[in-house]
């Protein structure tokens, strides 16, 4: 049975992905603050790395602010251990990383996601056996942004994208996917 790790597995996108793998019959392990895995601490990151070294899929999803660059740090620690063994590392980022330049006020979320995107792209140039995938959704209807108005993706849109990537033929590799919601009103006369 394939083993899957999901960081930030108790709500939002992480919960959707966690539930997806449970439904598919995988051996799924969640790592979140709620079960003692606060990834803003380096010793906890190292613990997660050790506990998942024989896993098949790692979902690097947990965003933590305050706490810094935990997603990027996890990728930095995971990659050397996974690059020659195969499997999958999914980095869940955001299109918010596209909106760093030109902002007058700092936005930690965008900056942290930009760091993850940049590091992912740098590692993607290495010859490796691991499938390194970056998923960059736009606004997703999760508790984190429930007060923001406007159209949003559904968690299931992100989960369906992950499923689609995992079910491609072996000779097809998707390195990066950006998902945005389309507002039909804007395109009705096009």
The mean pLDDT values, 10 residues at a time, for the chain of 190 residues are: 94 94 98 92 95 97 74 92 93 75 68 83 86 87 72 88 95 90 65
Q: Where are the domains of the chain?
A: 3-187
Per-residue model confidence (pLDDT) at position 21: 98
Per-residue model confidence (pLDDT) at position 16: 95
Please provide the DSSP assignment of 137-163 as one string.
Answer: E--B-SGGGTTS-S--B-HHHHHHHHH
The fold of 3-187 is Rossmann fold (3.40.50)
Per-residue model confidence (pLDDT) at position 126: 80
What stretches of 30-154 show up as alpha helix (H) in DSSP? 42-51, 70-82, 108-124
Question: For the chain, how far is it from start to end, CA to CA, in angstroms?
Answer: 48
């Amino acid at each position: 049975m394939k083993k899957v790790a999901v960081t930030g597995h108790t709500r939002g996108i992480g919960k959707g992905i966690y539930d997806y793998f449970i439904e598919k019959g995988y051996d799924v392990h969640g790592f979140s603050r709620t079960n003692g895995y606060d990834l803003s601490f380096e010793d906890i990151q190292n613990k997660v790395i050790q506990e998942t070294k024989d896993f098949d899929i790692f979902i690097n999803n947990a965003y933590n602010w305050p706490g810094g660059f935990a997603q990027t740090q996890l990728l930095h620690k995971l990659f050397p251990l996974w690059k020659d063994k195969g499997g999958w590392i999914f980095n869940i980022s955001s299109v918010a990383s596209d909106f760093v330049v030109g902002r007058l006020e700092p936005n930690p979320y965008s900056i942290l996601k930009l760091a993850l995107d940049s590091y992912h792209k740098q590692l993607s140039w290495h010859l490796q056996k691991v499938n390194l995938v970056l998923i960059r959704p736009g606004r997703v209807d999760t508790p984190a942004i429930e007060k923001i108005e406007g159209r949003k993706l559904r968690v299931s849109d992100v989960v369906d994208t992950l499923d689609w990537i995992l079910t491609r033929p072996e000779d097809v590799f998707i390195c990066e996917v950006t998902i945005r919601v389309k507002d039909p009103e804007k395109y009705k006369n096009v």
